[in-house]
Amino acid sequence: MLAYTTDSGFETVSLAAGTGRSWSASHAGAVSLIIGLAGPGAARLALLLMPVDFASFAAVLRDLGVSGQVRELPEPAPTAATAAAQLGCEVGAIANSLIFSADGVPLLVMTSGAHRVLETRVAALVGASAVRRADVGSVREWTGQAIGGVAPVGHPAPIRTLVDTWLDKYDVVWAAAGHPHTVFPTSFAELIRITHGTPADVGA
């Protein structure tokens, strides 16, 4: 089966899996994909069409001494709100992994889903003249992961990291596990440890 609708320049495509494999959108056999009409849409299609394989990322967590297990979500979680709805937690307990360019150098800001990152504040914290959200290509190059699934660890090279102090309000916080369908439970202290990050007030 193949069907699609368009909405604001995007197509939503549903495919019947029918192969007995574990597809990413659900275990009921349907895969929901959002395909950009040009540019990186093809890469996003390839990512979401493949079965979710988080074994390599789970191994990264084990090597770092993280006890929390990777959880596969039934639907993509591109925003803190969608992740919180599926996990049954507060939006503030979602640890967003946002990649910025700080004078051309990669910077990871782990921020609470309850916050919006203030780029001017972050620039002052890291001593950069300008901090801007990284483009899709840079995110992929620096992290090896796609926007919507960027994890705090597992990147080709270490990335300087700030960890939002707001996350310390929660005993358990949830971070992406390298794929839009996967997350893992962690804590403020553990995020600082595994990322070698700096606690910071990054948002409003």
Mean pLDDT over 134-163 rounds to 95
Task: Note whether 163 and 191 are within 8 A (CB).
Answer: yes
- What tokens appear for 47 in the block? 């990512």
Supply the pLDDT for residue 199.
Answer: 98
Task: Note whether 5 and 33 are within 8 A (CB).
Answer: no
Query: Residue 184, exposed/middle/buried by CB under 10 A (0-12, 13-18, 19+)?
Result: buried
- Across the chain, what does the average pLDDT equal? 81
Q: In which residue ranges of the chain is CATH 3.90.960.10 found?
A: 55-200
Beta bridge partners of 200: 164
What's 55-200's CATH class?
Answer: alpha beta
The answer to pTM > 0.85 is no
